Amino acid sequence: AQTVTQSQPEMSVQEAETVTLSCTYDTSESNYYLFWYKQPPSRQMILVIRQEAYKQQNATENRFSVNFQKAAKSFSLKISDSQLGDTAMYFCAFMKHDNNNDMRFGAGTRLTVKP
C-alpha cells in the first residue's frame, strides 16, 4: 500500500517570501502521479500542481513549483512570492497509474501567510 507523509503540520511565511512544503511517499510502483491540493479556509479543495513520475522535469504553475526526487521518493512544493490568498491547508497526494484514479493523501500542512 502507498503511504504519503507530510512532516510539517503547520508552517508560516511572510508575504512576498518563499516557502517550501515537504512530502515523502512510499511505493513500489514505477509509474504514478503526484499532486498538491490546496484547501482554503471554508472553501473547496482545488488542484495546485501535478507531476507525472516518468517525467524528469519538475512541474511549475506560475508561483508554484515542485522538486520531484524520484529516487528519494520526495515531492516538495515551493511557493514563491507568497500571497495572503495562499493561506490554506495543503495536501500532497499519490495516485497509481491505473484507471481507478483513487488517491492517497498526506495529513496536510496548514500554511499561514502573514502580512
At its nearest, how many Å lie between other proteins and the CB of residue 15? 26
**98 exposure class (CB count in 10 Å sphere: 0-12, 13-18, 19+):** exposed
By CB under 8 A, name the binding residues for other proteins.
4, 6, 9, 33, 35, 37, 43-47, 50, 52, 91, 93, 95, 98-108
Give the whole-angstrom CA distance, residue 71 versus residue 74: 8
Q: Which is nearer to other proteins, 30 or 115 (CB)?
A: 30
Cβ neighbours for 85, distance < 8 A, ≥ 6 positions apart: 40, 113
Q: Which is nearer to other proteins, 16 or 46 (CB)?
A: 46
Q: Which is nearer to other proteins, 10 or 15 (CB)?
A: 10
At its nearest, how many Å lie between other proteins and the CB of residue 48? 11
At its nearest, how many Å lie between other proteins and the CB of residue 79? 19
At its nearest, how many Å lie between other proteins and the CB of residue 47? 5
**55 exposure class (CB count in 10 Å sphere: 0-12, 13-18, 19+):** exposed
Amino acid at residue number 72? A
All 3 cell numbers of residue 1?
A: 500500500
Q: Which is nearer to other proteins, 75 or 106 (CB)?
A: 106
